[in-house]
Structure 1
Amino acid sequence: MTSQQAPTHRSRRAPSRPSRGRKLLWPIPLLALSLATASLGATYPSHPSAASHAPDASAAGQAASCVDQVYSAMTGPQRVGQLFMGSITASTPDQKRIQVLRQYHVGSVFLAGRSKAGTKATKTLVDSLQAKADTVSKHRVGLLVSTDQEGGQVQVLSGPGFSTIPSGLVQGSWSTSKLRAEAATWAKQLKAAGVNLNLAPVADVVPLSLGKNNAPIGRYDREYGHTAAAVTPHSNAFAAGFAQSNVLATLKHFPGLGNVRGNTDTTANVVDTVTTTKSSSLTPFSSGIKAGAPFVMISLATYNKIDPKHRAVFSSTVIQGLLRKTMGFQGVVVSDDLGNAVAVKTVAPADRALNFLSAGGDLVLAGEPNQVPAMTKAVTARMAQSAAFRAQVDQSVHRVLAAKQKVGLLTCG
């Protein structure tokens, strides 16, 4: 999710009918689960620059046990559904699309568009969605409910109970202690509305020389500043405030959209010819990951000096190499919108999901629900054919469930 259309960010939706049927069985990688759970258990420190403390071993073990219980009881279609996030228009939810999400066991939703309804009305909507979430062998598996609540021109939810959040550039002019405190308040407001995941903060560094000519970020003042030194402490402070209020945050758009001109939501063939694996613009991401960031969103641009052959969202060099191995990220990797973004229009929907998951991604942001049937069928077919792909999917489901467990979305006896 980048910004767009007047930055509505992914005004997409979610899935369609179920792939109920044969139960798919594959082994449970406990090591991968423990790593995912441990990562998600990390909290942002009191001071964004400080190192975070390791999670309590017994707590991590209990979380792993709960995730294992839920995972073991799931059917194949239920597991596959955890790999998808479908979009619902917050102001005018489409019941047919919601039904599609339910039929395909889609485990996460994204509230898109613009809604001025306020916290109470939003909570009513979210409660109605959560009521349709799957119960797995008496274990409730709640929905990750996300939105774009950055501030400025990118704030999906407003109205009674929600603050008017200033732009990233304004937030970047504040002290980090003020930003953290304000972010904790904004997170509490989302929590009151039933939202447990924010697709923010923006960790992109837009050079001053590019400024407004950077269509996805600079044009809308979404950046915290024009240098890594300015962005890093502020993106960390924003994420720390959200961690304080127990709402999951997402560093985006890895490995950065600050050096491009085109907007991947509305433009094909967006290419970054500047960023390398050693660029300072990666610092906000690496610092946020060290502090315990639970989610990272992958850009739809191509990075010529990192992997010129693939868009970042389809690149194992970017996801498995740079993000996971080099930076040590163990949390959930979510895609930018693979439903409606022009940057991926030339790729068949089924291949978008397969390419992202094969590259090491965990959670497909499917802005167009009508594409989910093709995506889930392709994933199910590939799992039947490839043990390696099956193992990757297995780890991804565990990471998503571990994130849900952290915010109280799993119940285990």
Structure 2
Amino acid sequence: MTLGPLMVDVSGLTLTDTEKDILKHPLVGGVILFSRNYDSPEQIAELTSEIHALRTPHLLIAVDHEGGRVQRFRDGFTRLPPVAALGRHYHEHKQRALHQAEVTGWLMAAELRAVGVDFSFAPVLDLDYGVSEVIGDRAFHRDPLAVTDLARAYIGGMKQAYMAAVGKHFPGHGAVEVDSHLGLPVDDRHLEDMLQADMLPFSRLCQKVLAGVMPAHIVYSQCDSLPAGFSPYWIQQILRQRLGFQGAVISDDLSMEGAAIIGDMTQRAEAALSAGCDLVLLCNNPQQVETVLDTLKCEADPLRHARLVRLHGRHTMDLQTLFATQQWKQAVNLIADYAPDTERQMDLA
């Protein structure tokens, strides 16, 4: 069975019979986990094992686990700082900052792989202009070259832990104030201006480094009237053709207000897939998931499947074995050194 184009969520700590049936549907290709799905490392490992056992090849399992404000699994995992902590001293101590980024990327990925998660939606490649509350310290830096360097090192660490990287939010979310979870942001900048700024990390990393890219639910009014995640212009003409990206394109959550302009949930899924997305997220609305499964018309696509299976994690070890390694202990100490626990606690809202 090929991996389908829908990534859905589940309600709790274990699967219900209805959820098992949904996850076996040929249109489903993956599961995204949230804090409500997590109780302990042992529990989440059992849940991911149960999900993986449902299908061959196994469904993708993903989570937002960037650190700082966005870390779904807390107790039993290393509390990671926001990645802005990595960019703070980049210009004064570049090599040290790059080493810290690499180790942090490895630690994030290694702990998730140890409990069966295939990938995290990371890293954030947006620039921190100081205007977007939803981005803010989730971005490495304001300087696009610094973001590129730090993200490359961070992804290098992820790859050492056998996790693929999904960069977000293409072509850039940092310059708009409106949170796309709550409304539809509009960015009035021209393409050429963005190519030299927000798009630079994507353009330099998308051909050989990134396995996936997540477009933003933002309208870039000087380029297209559709939000980027529903736009053939942004996904096919710019990302695929101009930048040469050959990996998986994964939509942001179709339940967000930034997607509402497109129509109902089936129309949103159809529009995103038609625009060039390989996988679309349907979160926090189980009734709509069933409706989309009943109404979406989408044929199996070998190319989509090939792009998605690249996101499967590989070569895992259990968490207790990981915790006993010198590499893990050194990584935890390194993070404690550049981001003291009091600083990391500030972002746990």
Instruction: Work out whether the TM-score is over 0.5.
Output: yes
Report whether the alignment pairs 1:296 with 2:213: yes
2:88 to 162, 166, 173: 173
Higher normalized contact order (CA 8 Å, seq sep 6+, divided by chain length): 1
Superposed displacement of residue 179, structure 1: 1.2
Q: Percent identity?
A: 29
Whole-Å separation in 2 of the counterparts to 1:371 and 1:408: 35
Cα 1:115–1:141 change in 2 (3 A) is: closer
Aligned to 2:35: 113
2:214 aligns to what SS in structure 1?
strand
Cα 1:180–1:302 change in 2 (3 A) is: same
Report whether the alignment pairs 1:399 with 2:312: no
1:266 aligns to what SS in structure 2?
coil
Aligned to 1:44: none
Consecutive unaligned residues in structure 2, runs of 5 or more: 90-96, 317-349
1:225 to 109, 125, 141: 141
RMSD: 2.3
Report whether the alignment pairs 1:104 with 2:25: yes
Aligned to 2:323: none
Whole-Å separation in 2 of the counterparts to 1:191 and 1:110: 14
Aligned to 1:316: 232
Superposed displacement of residue 359, structure 1: 0.7
Aligned to 1:86: 8
Q: State whether residues 236 and 288 of structure 1, in contact with CA within 8 Å, keep that contact through their aligned partners in structure 2.
A: yes
Q: How does 1:128-277 map to 2 (within 5 A)?
A: 128-132=50-54, 134=55, 140-160=56-76, 162-173=77-88, 175-207=97-129, 211=130, 213-218=131-136, 221-267=137-183, 269-274=184-189, 276-277=191-192
Please report the TM-score for the alignment, with normalisation by the length of structure 2.
0.80
Amino acid at match of 2:47: L
1:371 aligns to what SS in structure 2?
helix
Amino acid at match of 1:183: G
Q: Deviations over 1:37-73 (max 9, x none)?
A: xxxxxxxxxxxxxxxxxxxxxxxxxxxxxxxxxxxxx
Cα 1:190–1:402 change in 2 (3 A) is: closer
Superposed displacement of residue 377, structure 1: 4.3
Amino acid at match of 1:238: Y
The count of residues paired between Structure 1 and Structure 2 equals: 304
2:198 to 281, 290, 308: 281
2:9 aligns to what SS in structure 1?
strand
Superposed displacement of residue 85, structure 1: 0.7
Q: Deviations over 1:104-149 (max 9, x none)?
A: 24221101135663432211111122222x2xxxxx2112110011
Q: State whether residues 85 and 366 of structure 1, in contact with CA within 8 Å, keep that contact through their aligned partners in structure 2.
A: yes
